[in-house]
Amino acid sequence: MKVNRLILSFAVAICGSTAFADVPVYLDDSKPLEERVEDALSRMTLKQKIAIRHAQSKFSSPGVPALGIPELWTDDGPMGVRPEVKWDEWDQAGWSNDSCTAFPSLTCLAASWDPELAVLYGTSLGEEARFREKDVMLGPGVNIYRTPLCGRNFEYFGEDPYLAGVMTGQYVKGVQSNGVAVCVKHYAANNNEWNRYTTNSIVSDRALYEIYLPAFKAAVDAGAWSLMGGYNLVNGQHATYNQRLVNEILKGEWGFDGVVISDWGAVHDTKQAVEGGLDMEFGTGTDGLTSKGNPYDNYWLANPYYNGVLEGKFSEEQLNDKVRRVLRLTMRTAMNRNKPYGSLNSEAHHQACRRIGQEGIVLLKNDDNILPISKDKVRSIAVIGENGIKRMTVGGGSSSLKALYEIFPLEGLQARYGDTINIVYERGYVGDTLTYYNHVWTKQHLDDPRSPEQLKADALKAARNADLVLFFSGLNKADHNDAEGTDRQTLDLPYGQNELIEAVAAVNPNTVVVNISGTGVAMPWLGKVKAVLQAWYLGNETGNAIASVLAGDVNPSGKLPYTYYASLDQCAAHKLGEYPGTPRHDPVEGDIIDMKYNDDIFVGYRYIDKEKIKPTFPFGYGLSYTTFGYGKATIDRKKGTADDIFTVTVPVTNTGDCAGSEVVQLYISDLKSSLPRPVKELKGFAKVRLEPGQTENVTFEIGRDALSFFDDKAHAWVVEPGRFEAIIGASSADIRSTVSFEIE
């Protein structure tokens, strides 16, 4: 239903952009944006101002048909363009032209530590969105990985605000270069799925500013055109219309001029939503279009808002601000005549998918250099585990996709090795056999008539007879296994995988585990297997990307974007915080669950460092098939003021015998401060590709941002005089060189 676009093109066809003197200013794209917005606003009736700001279907809003202002079409997000659903239902519309490229999970993108890949990712996704005529992509998800149990970690960029911020900014620029808006989500402190509608995140200002908000701020700084409020409450008020978060910080301090969109069904009250800065309402229930009239008119921000304005309860000026934002968004996207046409399922997108997957895979262990697979030593491989053959582009909730194709790990290996290596497959266990997730069919039937004992016996037999075992372990986007709306219930792998891996490793010492998940899992068998790869959900090209790393066609260079905990009590959210929270009845909000963020700013490695804990793998960790040597870091000045730029340089050499990339990390440590600070914090990183024997000087600039902390009493970012250290690491736990300097 692109009626309004036709009206717009018609107006343009008749008028041209400037050919006729009487082209209305709002349709004349040679005029400044704000002038056009004001002109459109001045022509709108109160009813139109109300209507333009709420849904007319599951994913669209109506625009202003009478003025030729087009509809806005949103869609999930964030890893591919979701298939079309029916007008008012979540069911598939049954279109046959809505298969997409499924890109790797955002955790994988974060694990690449490559901002250029974030641009490539965003640009490619934006092109697909454009081709599918979408104006707003509901993503990226930028919530911080606070607990490994959070069901949506795979949609986010990991535990560190700096890494998440850098990757977010580039992703935003990429998507929006297509005239498609991002809708960065879920603002804010939305760090678990369990009780997601009622969790009240009780979090200090300092933790908000230092940990939970920077990635959103980075999106705003990169020019994000819209943002989605979370379902949760923050400090007692719903996040989607939270005075402090939306009005004071986002629109006030950061000067955000875009649209705040509710998460689907996150609005519960007209007055609070109007006054709390919400601009557009989506996803509130209708009764399936069976009621009289347009049920969308019953939205909290529809008729109740209209009547409220007429009755003088809400000012029209306040409404105008919301309308201006929606007009701005529409002019930047649907009414942007200079945007490209986009493309869907191009070879370039499939290659981008593969490249991002290859660059994000993390090699966690590689005893005896068992990887890459040596064709001289390995004549037969037993591939074991359901994840070797399971469709993972479907599932997980709203990010579920209808991918044009998906290469499973087993298929990728078969394609890579052809007849040169004998590959046998055994599943080993039956985990999840659902064929339908979030209204998308997997078109895969995974029932197996064998008993669990037989499955295991068959897997062990295959393992015994092979030169090498590749065990594809992990989660699978079914409920409680990396899925929206549910958290995991344990850090352990499901379906008895731990026991099976141990049994397999006992019969074949050459066992390699390839773990597919979007979050950390316990690895009690780690000491018994030779190698481990963390392989994420990689989209269409999953099998090819994994096979190319296993075979050594690609040298792994990903590093972990979060701490890999050995047990939940290593994670501050569980050790110190309240998870899953304490139920309470609130007189205004009803039954809610208070969740105190007692871990405060000590999230991830910030807590690990403070308590000197040894996790399974630290933040920033990842191996390569080559090795890297670091020289001594130098700094260009030993003293200066907080406004000076300090330059740190460190030579990095590829000391092995194959080309590879290293992620060099800069952490800053404030040796003495009036408020407690983390031992060190990531403030820079660079991914360098080096040929064997090649050395490159890697340079980082340190400015005020890298030195400051948020003083919540003063409500200011502060740099205190004293000694600081610039710490160069190959991970957060593998420090290679340190230089100190002083702020006067």
Q: Which residues bind ligand BGC (CB under 6 A)?
A: 76-77, 138, 185, 263-264, 398
Least distance in angstroms from the C-beta of 154 to ligand BGC: 13
Residue 62 beta carbon to ligand BGC: minimum distance, rounded to whole angstroms: 18
Nearest Cα residue to 464 out of 511, 419, 416, 430: 511
Nearer to ligand BGC, 183 or 352 (CB): 183
In angstroms, the CA 33 to CA 50 distance is 21
| In the complex, minimum distance from the CB of residue 169 to ligand BGC, in angstroms, rounded to a whole number | 20
Closest CA to 636 of 739, 743, 706: 739
Opening angle at CA 369, ends 363 and 374, nearest 5? 105
Phi first, then psi, for residue 681 (nearest 5°) are -140, 140
If the CB atoms of residues 180 and 373 are measured against ligand BGC, the closer one turns out to be 180
Give the residue with the Cβ less far from ligand BGC, 77 or 388.
77
Residues in CB range of 713: below 8 A, 6 or more apart = none
The nearer residue to ligand BGC, 138 or 334, going by C-beta atoms, is: 138
Q: Between residues 86 and 704, which has the closer beta carbon with respect to ligand BGC?
A: 86
**Minimum separation from the CB atom of position 272 to ligand BGC (A):** 19
- What's the min distance (Å) between Cβ of 57 and ligand BGC? 12
The phi, psi pair for 238, rounded to 5°, reads -60, 135
Question: Residue 646: beta bridge partners?
Answer: 702
Q: How far is the CB of 239 from ligand BGC (least distance, A)?
A: 12
Cβ within 8 Å of residue 587, ≥6 positions away = none
102 CA to centre of own chain: 14
Asked whether 683 and 717 are in contact (CB, 8 A), the reply is no
How many other C-beta atoms lie within 10 A of the C-beta of residue 725? 16
**Nearest distance in Å: CB 138, ligand BGC:** 4
Q: Cα-flanking dihedrals φ and ψ of residue 531, to 5°?
A: -145, 155
Pull the structure tokens for residue 315. Answer: 């000012």
Q: How far is CA 381 from the centre of its chain?
A: 34
| C-beta closer to ligand BGC: residue 36 or 152 | 152
- Residue 162 structure tokens: 């700096």
At how many degrees (to 10) do helices 115-131 and 161-176 cross? 40
Spatial distance between the Cα atoms of 161 and 203, rounded to a whole number of angstroms = 16
| Residues β-bridged to residue 640 | 743
* Residue 423 CA: distances (Å) to CA of 304, 516, 606: 64, 20, 43
In the residue annotation, 221 being an active-site residue is answered as no
Question: Least distance in Å: CB of 188 to ligand BGC?
Answer: 14
| Two structure tokens written together for 148 | 């490994």
Give me the sheet containing 511-516, strands edge to edge. 362-366, 531-534, 511-516, 468-474, 380-384, 422-426
Contacts of 312 by beta carbon, 8 Å cutoff, 6+ apart: none
Coil, strand or helix: which one is 690? strand
**Minimum distance between the CB of residue 518 and ligand BGC, rounded to whole angstroms?**
15
Task: List phi, psi (to 5°) of 228.
Answer: -110, 130
Nearer to ligand BGC, 282 or 408 (CB): 282
Nearer to ligand BGC, 240 or 510 (CB): 240
Longest Cα separation, the chain: 83
Nearer to ligand BGC, 550 or 595 (CB): 595
Between 76 and 609, name the residue whose CB sits nearer to ligand BGC: 76
Among the listed residues 263, 279, 482, 487, the single catalytic one is 263
CA 275 – CA 277 distance, rounded (Å) = 6
For the bound state, the minimum distance from the C-beta of residue 494 to ligand BGC, rounded and expressed in Å, comes to: 23
Which residue type occupies 302? Answer: A
- Please state the separation of Cα 149 from the chain's center in Å: 15
Catalytically active residues, by annotation = 263
